[in-house]
Chain A
Amino acid sequence: MVIECKHVWTYISDYLDGTLSEEIRVTVQKHLEHCELCSAILDSTRNILVLTADDRVFELPVGFSERLHQRLEEELKQKKGS
């Protein structure tokens, strides 16, 4: 089975998650082997997912944890007192 590029694009997310059926996965794989365009799209998408998942991109504000637990502590004390 041969598929067009724009069909391959609809499978990119499932391909990355490994959730395609075996038949479609093989078809997509074959397409990627000879299509520079689609393999660059796949590689860049995968790369971008690795970068955005990096803990350094979305950091907790400085002191977030301390302030949160301080506020909880006040609540816990109140509860005890009540």
Chain B
Amino acid sequence: MTLQEQQGEAELIAAILAGETQLYHDLIRPYERPVYLLALSYMKNETDAEDVAQEAFLKAFRHLSSFRADAKFSTWLISIALNEARGRLRRQTAARTESLDKDPDEEGAVSPALLRDWREIPSEAVERGEIRDLLRKAVETLPEIYREVFLLRDVEELNINETAEALNISVSAVKVRLHRARLMLQKYLAPQLKSVTKPKRRWFAWS
């Protein structure tokens, strides 16, 4: 985001707080996708994710006056969405005690899938439904702490500092988790993508 855009955003927020509430529609438009994707990564189904996203946008509106002008609106909004998603998951799966006692960043190295060669898969391949499903499923199977970093950083293209701030973790934790997420995806996806995108043998090509 450019400085100008950031200033524009600050002015929008001031105007909304001063009573021009309609401007809230414009303020949030750029964040519909990142907020929804983050919600989806927690809820794993579209209906709940949409609900969480709507709630997050409503909460942000109701609490807009507590937004500190020195923070970034995007990271503030994302942390509201994150709390909303986590809170709802907690209520759904009452008291999951998974991995509270160990530091996930301490786990060992992830090794990639070993390949001898790689033929570039063009982005047109994404038009094929099976490829899209494969990519989505791969991201969904990442453990939560890697998935959220990956989505914000590599899918939504927040920078490292913004990702750290939104998730309330350190910059070095972002780097470690991102690295693991990327290698896990490579390990899971590279062999499968290689086989589904292999050029089909053309029978009777000479007839």
User: Which residues of chain A have a CB within 8 Å of any CB of chain B?
Assistant: 6, 9-10, 12-14, 16, 36-37, 39-41, 43-45, 47-54, 56-58, 60-61, 64-65, 67-69, 71-73, 75-76, 79-80
Q: Are B116 and A53 in contact (CB under 8 A)?
A: no
Q: How far is the CA of A19 from the CA of B25 in the complex (A)?
A: 37
From B136, which residue of chain A is reached at the shortest CB distance?
A: A57
Per the 8 Å Cβ criterion, residues 127-163 of B in contact with A are 127, 131-132, 135-136, 138-139, 154-155, 157
Per the 8 Å Cβ criterion, residues 33-59 of B in contact with A are 33, 36-37, 40, 46, 50, 53-54, 57-58
- From residue B118, how far is it (CB to closest CB) to chain A in Å? 4
Most buried by B among A41, A44, A53: A44
Q: Are B114 and A50 in contact (CB under 8 A)?
A: no
> Does B94 sit at the interface, judged by CB under 8 A?
no
Q: How far is the CA of A80 from the CA of B20 in the complex (A)?
A: 10
Partner of A71, one of B21, B54, B175, B186: B54
Residues of B within 8 A of A14 (CB): 175, 179
- From residue A49, how far is it (CB to closest CB) to chain B in Å? 6
Size category of the B interface is 35 or more
Say yes or no: A68-B54 contact (C-beta < 8 A), given A52-B185, A58-B40. Answer: yes
Q: Are A61 and B46 in contact (CB under 8 A)?
A: yes
> Does B24 sit at the interface, judged by CB under 8 A?
yes
Residues of A within 8 A of B61 (CB): 72, 75-76
Q: Are B32 and A43 in contact (CB under 8 A)?
A: no
From B112, which residue of chain A is reached at the shortest CB distance?
A: A41
- From residue B193, how far is it (CB to closest CB) to chain A in Å? 7
Say yes or no: A60-B36 contact (C-beta < 8 A), given A45-B112, A68-B57. Answer: yes
Can you spell out 10 A-B residue pairs with CB atoms less than 8 angstroms apart? A16-B182, A37-B115, A51-B123, A56-B126, A60-B32, A60-B36, A61-B50, A64-B53, A71-B58, A73-B25
Residue-wise interface mask of B (171-203) relative to A, using a CB-CB cutoff of 8 A (1 in contact, 0 not): 000010011001101100110010000000000
Partner of A51, one of B24, B36, B135: B135
Q: Are B24 and A36 in contact (CB under 8 A)?
A: no
